A and B are shown apart, each in its own frame.
Chain A
Amino acid sequence: MSNIFNSPLFYIFLTFGLYALFTYIYKKVKSPFCNPLLLTTICIILYLVITQFSVEQYTESLSMVGYFLSPLTVCLAIPVFNRIQIVKHYWLPIVVGTIVGASVSIGSVLLFGHLLGLDENIIMSLIPKSVTTPIALEVSEKLGGIKGITVSAVILTGILGALLGPLILKLLHIKRSPAVGMSLGGTSHAVGTSKAVEMSARAGAISSVAIVTSGIATVIIALFL
C-alpha cells in the first residue's frame, strides 16, 4: 500500500485535489485564514508527518510545478497593463508608496533581525516577505535564504495584512483609496489585495499594481545587499 500512497501520481492527485477543494471553500467563506495555499500546505505537512513519508519524495513528485516560477512572474505584467489608466492617474503616490514600502520593509527586517540576534540565513529568508511569492523566492534565492521559510513568512505577512490592515487604517484615519490600496498591496501582496477589493474597487486596482511595483523595488534594493 505504501507505494501507492507515496507515489508521484498520488501526490499530484492530493495537491490538485486539496487546492481545488480549498479554493471552493475560500470562495464561499472569504476569510484570510481559508487561503487555499495555507490550508493545502498544512494538510500535506500533516499527511507527511503522520505517514512518516519523506518530504523530498513529495517535492520531487511536484518538481514540475516549480518550473512555473518564472512564467508566473512574467504574467504579473498583466494586472498592471489592465490597470494602466489608474497607473497614469496615480503615478506619483504609487512611486512614493513603492519606494517607501520596499526600503522600510527591508530596512526593518535587517535592523530588528540583528537586534533579535537571528541567524543571517533566516534574516535573508525574511527580507522579501512583503513581496508576491514568485519574486520573493527569486530574491531569497539570490540572498542565500531558505525558500520554505520565505514562503511561510510571505503567507503570514499576507494574513496579517488582511486581518490588521483595515484596523491600522481606521486608527490612522486614512480612507483615500490610493493609500488603502498601496499599503495593503505593498505589504500583503495578493492576500492584502483581496481585502482592498472589498474596501473599494479603486483600492483593489491600486493594490494589484502595488504588488508588482513593490516586487520590482525589492529586487532592485536586494541588488545592493
Chain B
Amino acid sequence: MKIFKQIALITGFCLAGECISFGLSKLIPGFFFPGSLIGMIILFILLYLKVIHFEWIAEVGTFFVDNMGFFFVPAAVSVMSYFDVIRPNLWKMLLLCMICFFTTFTAIALSVHLTLLIQEKIHEEKGHGHE
C-alpha cells in the first residue's frame, strides 16, 4: 500500500510539472523548461513548507535516488546503434571530455575556494570591528 501511494504521489508531481511546462510553452512561444524539473522544484518547496511530509515519499524516493543508474542501462546500451558515428570521432570525443573535465573541475574548485577565502576575510574584519 505504502509503496503504491508513494509512486502515485511522485508521478503526480511529474504530471503537475508537465502541465505547468506545457502551459508555460503556450504562454511564451519557444520557451521550454522540462516538466520534471518544475515537478522537482514544487516537491522541494512543498517539503520545505511541510505541506508534504518526507515520510510520504521516503522509501520510493530514496530507492530512486540511490539506484538511479539502473534506469539508464537501456539508454546506455542504445549507444551501440551509433558505433558508426562514434568510431571516426572517438579520439576527438575522448579528448574533448578530458579537456572539459579539467577546465570545469578547476574552475569550480578555484571559484569556490576564492569565495570561501573572501567570506572568511569579511568575517574576520567584522570580528575585529566588534572588538
Residues of A within 8 A of B (CB): 15-16, 19, 23, 35-37, 40-41, 44-45, 48-49, 55-56, 58-59, 62-63, 65-66, 68-82, 84, 92-93, 96-97, 100-101, 104-105, 108-109, 112-113, 116-119, 122, 126, 129-130, 132-135, 137-138, 142, 146-153, 155-157, 160-161, 164-165, 168-169, 172, 174, 176, 178-180, 182-183, 186-188, 190, 212, 215-216, 219, 223
Contacts and interface: CB of A to CB of B under 8 A. Distances in A.
26 contacts: A55-B80, A65-B71, A68-B64, A70-B18, A71-B10, A72-B65, A73-B36, A73-B37, A73-B40, A75-B43, A76-B65, A77-B44, A93-B116, A100-B107, A108-B104, A113-B96, A117-B92, A118-B96, A130-B101, A134-B72, A138-B37, A150-B75, A172-B106, A187-B108, A215-B37, A223-B33
A168 B98 CA distance: 13
Dominant SS among interface residues on chain B: helix
Contacts, number: 281
Contact of A65 (B74, B86, B92, B116): B74
Contacts of B48: 81, 84
A71 B78 contact: no
A97 B111 contact: yes
A78 B62 contact: yes
Nearest to B118: A92
A69 B96 contact: no
Contacts of A135: 34, 37
B39 A78 contact: no
B27 interface: no
B14 A74 contact: yes
A207 to B, nearest CB: 11
A160 B72 CA distance: 19
Contacts of A169: 109
Given A58-B74, A164-B101, A169-B109, A112 B96 contact: yes
A151 B32 CA distance: 22
Contact of A37 (B33, B47, B73): B73
A48 B77 contact: yes
B8 to A, nearest CB: 11
Nearest to B119: A92
Contacts of B68: 72, 132-134, 190
Given A48-B77, A148-B82, A93 B115 contact: yes
A190 B69 CA distance: 9
Given A148-B78, A169-B109, 13 more contacts: A49-B80, A66-B71, A70-B35, A73-B36, A76-B65, A101-B104, A134-B72, A148-B75, A152-B76, A153-B97, A157-B100, A164-B101, A174-B110
B79 interface: yes
